[in-house]
Amino acid sequence: MDLAQQVLAGDRRALARLITHLENDTPIGRAALAALWPHTGRAHVAGVTGPSGVGKSTLVNEIAKHLRSSPLSPLPTGEARGAGVRGEGQTVAIVAVDPTSPFSGGAILGDRIRMRDLSGDPGVFIRSMATRGRLGGLARATGEAVRALDAAGFDLILVETVGAGQSEVEIARTAHSVIVVEAPGLGDDIQAGKAGLLEIADILVVNKADQPGADEAVRALRGMLELGRSKRDSDWDVPVCRASALSGQGIAEIVQAVEAHRAHLAAAGQLAARERERVVEEIRALLSEALMGRLMTRLANGQFDAAVERVLDRTSDPRREVERLAQET
């Protein structure tokens, strides 16, 4: 069996190997993903984002645990899923998008240790995606990993971004449902408002709701949401959930909100629209990488460096050099 066949058969190690191939953008990874492509498009993908320190990892952990222990959980997948991913409840994959931290690995390791109680369960798959090389690469690799998990038959894929910057927002917004997590008392303001996160939220969660300031945070978020309408979808009322991931409170409500949002998307014909948006983003990201790669191989030795030199000694400017280099395609 080749790698794609192994993944379809439910081989977890093969799946992990494939994702590493996708991270490194190898020919083996590309071939396997092409073979798996017809098997994609069934999973529900939920992005989980928000400022640092709000407890996203713990929350994602609790959502996964909840789904595994609720056999009647009604997320409709439309058809029977592949072998190997069945279990009591829905099967869940977690993709944690972590910037590389060569200093420690500590904090990230910490998150994964919190996940330990899930790791013996074959219906759960946990994977961290690291920044390898340049920005666009992480979004591309994350998107491809989600497709691989989708083909492997997971019902729900949770994409958790560790930071809350523009690229993390871009990664989260390619999900079907976007969960934005906030916590009380992170500085003076509602940080999610600052970070431009509210506009992409389908579901808002105030985590650490047992801490002081939770009521104010909920009120402030409701106020920011004005009439509770989503900016992306005016027919959807964005719910503001209160949760405490550490005590497990409010997790069932979040899961229900995701299910309600998926049902809404399907009923409103929005699922297809979001899926199209995801594909457009995937093609754009790949195309951008491909065009730069092609140009770099076509440039004569030292041509790029010579352009840099001319800009540095101020005999030319970046735009003029870019015009010249782009002619080479």
**Residues 173-212 interacting with a second copy (rule: CB under 8 A):** 186-191, 193-196, 198-199
Least spacing, CB of residue 72 vs a second copy, in Å: 30
Take residue 156 and report the two structure tokens written for it.
């729900």
- Ranges within 34-53 binding a second copy (CB under 8 A): 34, 37-38, 40-41, 51-53
Q: Quick check: 30 binds a second copy (CB under 8 A)?
A: yes
* From 13-21, 158-166, 173-181, 261-269, span contacting a second copy (CB under 8 A): 158-166
- Residue 226: phi and psi, rounded to 5, are 55, -110
Q: Give the span between the Cα atoms of 142 and 159, in whole angstroms.
A: 9
Say whether residue 167 binds a second copy (CB under 8 A): yes
Kind plus residue range of the DSSP H or E element containing 308: helix 303-312
Given candidates 26, 211, 247, 288, which one binds a second copy under the rule CB under 8 A? Answer: 288
Q: Tell me if 133 contacts a second copy by CB under 8 A.
A: no
Residue nearer to a second copy on the CB measure, 256 or 316:
316
Between residues 165 and 248, which has the closer beta carbon with respect to a second copy? 165
Longest CA pairwise span in the chain (Å): 69
Structure tokens at 25: 């953008």
Q: Which of 101, 249, 256, 303 binds a second copy (CB under 8 A)?
A: 101
CA 163 from chain centre, in angstroms, equals 11
Looking at the DSSP assignment, which residues form a beta bridge with residue 130? 98
CB nearer to a second copy: give 83 or 308: 308
Q: Which range of residues in 79-87, 156-164, 247-255, 262-270 is near a second copy by CB under 8 A?
A: 156-164
Q: What's the per-residue H, E or C state across 17-82? A: HHHHHHHHCCHHHHHHHHHHHHHCCCCEEEEEECCCCCCHHHHHHHHHHHHHCCCCCCCCCCCCCC
> Tokens at residue 238, please?
């964005």
The one-letter code for the residue type at 11 is D
Q: Does 16 engage in binding with a second copy (CB under 8 A)?
A: no
CB 82 within 8 A of CB 153: yes
Q: How far is CA 14 from the centre of its chain?
A: 21
Question: How near is the Cβ of 89 to a second copy at its closest, in Å?
Answer: 28
The three-state secondary structure class of 258 is helix
Q: Which residue of 155, 168, 202, 259 would you call a contact of a second copy, by CB under 8 A?
A: 168
When the beta carbons of 300 and 312 are compared against a second copy, the nearer one is 312
Q: Pick from 142, 161, 177, 270: which binds a second copy (CB under 8 A)?
A: 161
Interaction of residue 162 with a second copy, rule CB under 8 A = yes
- Interface of this chain with a second copy, residues 225 to 284, rule: CB under 8 A: 225-226, 231, 275-276, 279-280, 282-284
Number of residues that bind a second copy (CB under 8 A): 84
- Report phi then psi at 206, rounded to 5: -95, 105
Residues of this chain, 56-95, that bind a second copy according to CB under 8 A: none
